[in-house]
Amino acid sequence: MHADKIAVLFFLGLTLLLSGCPDSSTTVDDQGASVSDFDWQMPDWVPLPVEPAYNPITEEKFQLGRHLFYDTDLSANGTISCASCHQQDKAFTDGVARPAGATGDIHPRNSQSLANAAWLRTLTWGNPTLTELEQQIVIPLFGIDPIEHGISEANQNQVLARLQAKPAYQRLFLSAYPDQTEPLFNELAWRNIIHALASFVRGMTSFNSDFDRYTAGDSQALSAAARRGMNLFNSERLECFHCHEGYTLTSSVRDRRRVPNIPAPFNNTGLYNIDGISAYPAPNTGKHELTGQARDMGLFRPQSLRNVALTAPYNHDGSVATLREVILNYAAGGRHLTHGPYAGDGRMNANKDPFIVSFSITEDEISDVIAFLESLTDHAFITHPRYANPWQDDASQDPIP
Amino acid sequence: MNRFLTLPLALLSASALAHTPPPSTAHRTTVDASLVATWRSASLVDDNAYWQVPGTMMGGHAWPAEKGAQVDEMNLGLSHRIDDDLAGVLKLGSHAGGMDDHSGVELEHAYIVYAPGPWQLQAGRMSAGFSPGLAQHAAERLASEAPLALDVFFGRHFHDDGARLAWQGNQGVSVGAEVWRGKAFPATDSNDGGAWDLFAQYQWQGTALTFAAGGWFYSAAAEARADHRYGGGHQHVPVAPPGQNTAAFPDIRYTGDTDIAGVHAHLGYHLNNDWQLSLQAEWMRAELDGTVHDAIGRQARLDGSQNGGWVQPGIIWRTHTFAVRAERLSTENSLVGPAAPQLATESGLANPDGHVPRRVTALWRWQWRPHIALRAEAIRDESLPAADHRFNIGIVWQQQIWSSTDR
C-alpha cells in the first residue's frame, strides 16, 4: 500500500476518533451517606453523623433516651440525672465550674455541651480513645473516680427495678426495641438503656443560629459588630478558625463523608505551667492523663463554639469565667497566673499549640468577637420541646436537682 | 521567498523530538531566543474566578486567557556541542500566568544529549518528546493558545527531570521511551509518584506529499496531587474588591494513576511553489483510576475516561498561513464514596449539565520577517458552559542571536 493511501486512511481513522468522542457525564454514588430514616432536624447542607451499625438511631430510641436522660431514678440514690449537669437552657451544660456527682464527688472537669456531640471525633476533654457515645455513657453511669450517677454492681438491680416500676417505660422500651420481648427486663436491659441514651444525645442537633442564617444567605442575620467579630475570628491575627472551624466550629469533627486520616486533635492553649516545665495541675493533665507522654501534657480537645455564650465558665476546668477572659488569655499567648497553687506562666508552656501566639486586640474588637460568638447561640435548640424534660408534667417524677 | 517558507513548514512538522538539538549542526554553540506577545479582547473567566473545565481535574500551568496585552512566553536557550555525539542544552523560560506570582523565570531545560548513530540518549530536565503537540510552545504553534486537551491532561507545559532513549531508523521510523521524576502534571514527584511513556512515529516524504503519524502511551502516578494554579498550600479566601464576591479554592487532591494514550498525524500537500495544504490532528484518551480526597478526610473513588483532541486544517500561501483548529473534550467520570457528591463538585469533576467542552480557533499567521511573525485569531471558546468569544492579535519573535562556528 502506498504511503499516501496510508496517510488518508490514518486521517480518516483519526477523524472518526475525534468525531466519535462520547458525550460527557459524571455519575456520583455516595453509598447511602445522605440517607437516613431519622428526622435529624437540621439543614440539608450538614452531612449526616456517623452511627454505629450496632445502634442505628430511631425516633423510638431517641424518645426513650430523652426520658432516661431526665430521669433521676437513673442514679444510685435517685438524686441526679444526666440533665443535672447538662441543662437545656445552658445548651446542655450546667453553669458551674465543676459539677458534683450523686454522692458529692466534685468532677475535676467542666461539663461539656452535648449539642452536636454526634459529630465529635472524641467525646471527652482529654481521652483520645473515647469515640462512641455508647462507650462514653458508661462512664458517668458506672464510673467511680469521680462518682457521678454512682451506679455499681451492688445497686444496679435496685436502680433497674425503679425504672421497671414506671409504667411509661413499658411502652417506651417495647417501642424502641420491638424485636425484644422484654427489653427492660431481659439481660440486655442495661445495654438498651445505654443505646437509648446514646441515641438521644446523638440526635441533639443545633444548626439554627443567627450565624447559620447568615451563612445561608440572610445578610441581615448578623449585626455589624458580629460581622466584624467574624472577620477577626477568621483572621490570621487571631487564628481562632484553625481549631474552631467548619459547620461544627471545632476541628474535632467527623461525619459520614469523612474518613479522618490524621489523629483526633488535642491542643495545649497555655493555660498552666505550674512547674515551669509545662505541667498542668493533676488530675487535669489532658491527653497526658491517659498516655503518660510528656508531649501530651495539657492537651485538650478543641471545643465546639456553637452556643458558647451559654456555656460559661470556660476551659476544661471551668477556671475562666467569661468569654472576654478567654479572648484575653489567647491575646496574651497563654495565661500567666502570678499567685495561687497553680501559679506559673502558661505563655511559656513548651507544649503550647503554635497557633496560640500573642496578638494585639482593642476592647472594641473584643466586643466584636464576643458579638460573633453570641451569634452562634441557637435559641430554638435551648427551648425546643423535642429536647426538653418529658417528665415535667409527671407528678411521679422528682424535680431535677 | 522560499526561505520565508521554512518557518511555516517547520511549524507544521514538529516532530516528537522537537527539543533535541540538531545532530549535525555546523555550529558548536548557539544561543536562541524567542518572545511571544498577544493582545486578547476578553478574559475567559472573571477576576477572582477560577478556570475549571467541567468534568476534569486541572493543574500545572493551564491558566485561562486574560484580556489585554501580555507576554505569553519568553525563552532563552543555549546549546553547545561537545563533540559529534555529545551536546548540552540549557533553556530559561517564562510563561504568563493567572496570578502575579506564577510568571517567574524557570529553568525549563538542562540536559545532555548523547547520540551515537541512530540512538539518542537524553538526560536532565527537558520537555516531553512523546507528543508533538505537547512539545510545542506558543512560539512554535500556529495558535497562541495551547490545545484544550493538553491544558486539561498535562497542565499545558511539560518540563520534568527524566531520561529519554530514542532510536531513529533510516526508513522514517523512530521509537523511544522516557522516564520522569514526576514534577510535571499529572504526576507527582513523591515516593509513589513519577511517570513513564513510550512513543513511535513514522515519517514519509514524497514529491508533493509529506506524512507523519505516531502513537504514544503515557502513565503517571500521583500522590495527593494538588491543582497548583490556585491551591496546594496554605490558603484562605482571596481578597475581592468591595461589592464583589469570591470563594476559597477548594483544595481537592488526587492520588492514583493516570494513563493517557494518544495518536497524532500531519499531512502536507505541496500544490506548487506558492501554495500548500496541511492537516494536523492529535487525539488522546485518559484513564483515571484513583481517589479524590481533601485535608479533612473526605474521599471518593474515581474512575474516569476522558477524551480530547483537535483537528487543524490549514492552507499556506507564501508567507501566510490560514488555519482552523477545532477542539473537543468529553469526560465520563464515576465517583463512589460517602463524600462523592461534595468532592465531585469541589474538584471540578461534576458535570451536571453534561457539558462537552469545545473550542474553535480561526487564525492567520504571517511570517512578516525571517524572525518575526504576526498572527490574528478569532476564538469561540466553549470550554465552560457559557460560550466566550475573543479576538487575539500577536507577535512572535524567534531568532538565533549568537553562534560560534569554530569547528
Would the CB atoms of A7 and B296 count as touching at under 8 Å? no
Angle ∠(B183,B184,B189) on CA atoms, nearest 5: 25
User: What number is the average pLDDT over the span A194-207?
Assistant: 98
Would the CB atoms of A11 and B331 count as touching at under 8 Å? no
- Give me the residue from A6, A22, A33 closest to B332, CB to CB: A22
pLDDT tens digit sequence for B314-343: 999 999 999 999 999 999 999 999 999 999
Chain A residues close to B55, C-beta within 8 Å: 24, 26
* C-alpha span between B204 and B85 (Å, rounded): 25
Q: What is the CA radius of gyration of chain A?
A: 26
- The alpha carbon of residue B252 and the mean position of all alpha carbons in its chain are separated, in whole angstroms, by 23
B243 touches chain A (CB under 8 A): no
pLDDT of residue B378: 98
The model carries a pTM of 0.81
* C-alpha span between B394 and B368 (Å, rounded): 12
**Spatial contact of B253 and B225, defined as CB atoms under 8 Å apart:** yes
pLDDT of residue B16: 40
Longest dimension (CA), chain B: 68
Residue with the bigger pLDDT between B357 and B241: it is B357
pLDDT tens digit sequence for B96-149: 875 555 557 899 999 999 999 999 999 999 999 999 999 898 999 999 999 999
Reported ipTM: the value is 0.86
Long-range contacts of range A211-220, CB-CB < 8 Å, 24 or more positions apart?
Answer: A211/A372, A211/A375, A211/A376, A212/A43, A212/A378, A214/A375, A216/A43
User: What number is the average pLDDT over the span A192-199?
Assistant: 98
Give the other-Cβ count within 10 Å of B332's Cβ. Answer: 17
DSSP bridge partners of B365: B321, B375
> Minimum mean pLDDT among A4-8, A67-71, A266-270, B351-355: which range?
A4-8
Long-range contacts of range B372-377, CB-CB < 8 Å, 24 or more positions apart?
Answer: B372/B396, B372/B397, B373/B7, B373/B398, B375/B142, B375/B144, B377/B143, B377/B144, B377/B145
State the DSSP code for B113. E
* C-alpha span between A75 and A115 (Å, rounded): 23
**Spatial contact of B33 and B347, defined as CB atoms under 8 Å apart:** no
* C-alpha span between B155 and B260 (Å, rounded): 13
Longest dimension (CA), chain A: 102
**Spatial contact of B298 and B343, defined as CB atoms under 8 Å apart:** yes
Extract the C-alpha cell encoding B238.
482571596
Q: Where are the beta strands (DSSP E) in B346-407?
A: 358-369, 372-382, 388-404
Q: Reply yes or no on whether the pLDDT at A81 is more than 60.
A: yes
pLDDT of residue A6: 62
**Which domains occur in chain A, in start order?**
59-206+381-387 (1.10.760.10)
| Closest chain A CA to residue B209 | A4
* C-alpha span between A34 and A234 (Å, rounded): 29
User: What number is the average pLDDT over the span A167-181?
Assistant: 96
State the DSSP code for B111. E
> Model confidence at A205, in pLDDT bands (50, 70, 90)?
very high
Q: Which CATH number fits domain B2-404: 3.40.50.300, 1.20.120.610, 3.40.50.720, 2.40.160.10?
A: 2.40.160.10
Would the CB atoms of B283 and A18 count as touching at under 8 Å? yes
> Model confidence at A401, in pLDDT bands (50, 70, 90)?
very low
pLDDT of residue B6: 38
Q: Reply yes or no on whether the pLDDT at B4 is more than 50.
A: no
Would the CB atoms of A27 and B333 count as touching at under 8 Å? yes
> Model confidence at B26, in pLDDT bands (50, 70, 90)?
low
Report in angstroms the alpha-carbon separations of B253 from A258, B81, B223, B342, B344. Answer: 14, 43, 8, 13, 11
pLDDT tens digit sequence for A226-236: 999 999 999 98
> Model confidence at A304, in pLDDT bands (50, 70, 90)?
very high
> Model confidence at A261, in pLDDT bands (50, 70, 90)?
confident
Half-sphere exposure of B322 (CA within 13 A, CB side): 4
Residues whose CB is less than 8 angstroms from the CB of residue A167 and which lie 6 or more positions away in sequence, other chains included: none
Q: Reply yes or no on whether the pLDDT at B71 is more than 90.
A: yes
DSSP bridge partners of B401: none
> Minimum mean pLDDT among A13-22, A207-216, A251-260, A300-309: which range?
A13-22
pLDDT of residue B7: 37
Chain B residues close to A236, C-beta within 8 Å: 236
pLDDT of residue A4: 61
B contact residues 318-347, partner A, Cβ 8 Å cutoff: 328-342, 344
> Model confidence at B1, in pLDDT bands (50, 70, 90)?
very low
Q: Reply yes or no on whether the pLDDT at B351 is more than 80.
A: yes
Q: Fill in the amino acid letter for A99.
A: P
Would the CB atoms of A31 and B336 count as touching at under 8 Å? yes
pLDDT tens digit sequence for B209-255: 999 999 999 999 999 999 988 877 655 556 666 666 667 788 899 99
Using a CB–CB cut-off of 8 Å, the residues of A that contact B are 3-4, 6-7, 10-11, 14-15, 17-18, 21-31, 33-34, 47, 234, 236, 246, 253-254, 256-262
| Closest chain A CA to residue B335 | A28
